[in-house]
Structure 1
């Protein structure tokens, strides 16, 4: 089996995308297009999960959607696919975009280069979560994530920020 090529977000780049309330891409910046090897026309109107890597546990995205639908931000380590073949890791911040009445009109994500030591740790966690999902679905994965956080004596946000800071 051929190993996938890994791409890296440039040190000073911020990858930005916006979606509508259904998760369809409405905006993407040049660093985003560059790392995935696409033109804006390849992405606009498409579901953001077009770049989801199969190594990502579904429970992470459930947590993400639960947070942003309740107008709370979330940070996460995310492994994405590149259209050039291969993958890249990001440290993502995702928030709801609100109109003047405070209603959600879409979502906004800003991603940057992750701490690679944090990635090494989170890769191991994600593998365990994926295994749990294969056996017992998202419920099993969610319980395992709770157990991992309890054993680390940290809340989710505290853990991901610690991993990113190094």
Structure 2
């Protein structure tokens, strides 16, 4: 997992809960908190940080992932090169397709070890999109937050229904409805 995810997570924790909470979560996780935005790190370290933040704050891990996804969307958007084609997207649905068809492809070219999630598009019309999110990292609530952050970016209101397709949540079906 790219380091920008870790650095943004730690900034969010410090901003929302304070440096003392971040230090406690790092200590609980046995983590020194030394990450660079361009480095690659084990996603299990992020999961450990989220679980321990949940223990420290009594906030459900799924909710923490969702809020993180909402927040990190803008940082990821800013990290895209100017030629990434975001200007060609004028809606959440277009951007989600662009993420799968362009951004994930480019990430894999730049970072041979990258394993971005996959989106399998089931159906789509002007007001609805159905897609499967597939990731061995099982972080579908981060994806939910990213979708919500994206919709906010485009000034759209989208109702999201998530249905796990596997017991381990490695595949989750997202039914998005533009309201």
- Determine if the TM-score, normalized by the shorter chain, exceeds 0.5: no
Name the TM tier (shorter chain): under 0.3
Greater relative contact order, per chain length (Cα 8 Å cut-off, separation 6+): 1
> Which protein has the bigger strand share?
1
TM-score, with length taken from structure 2? 0.25
TM-score, with length taken from structure 1? 0.27
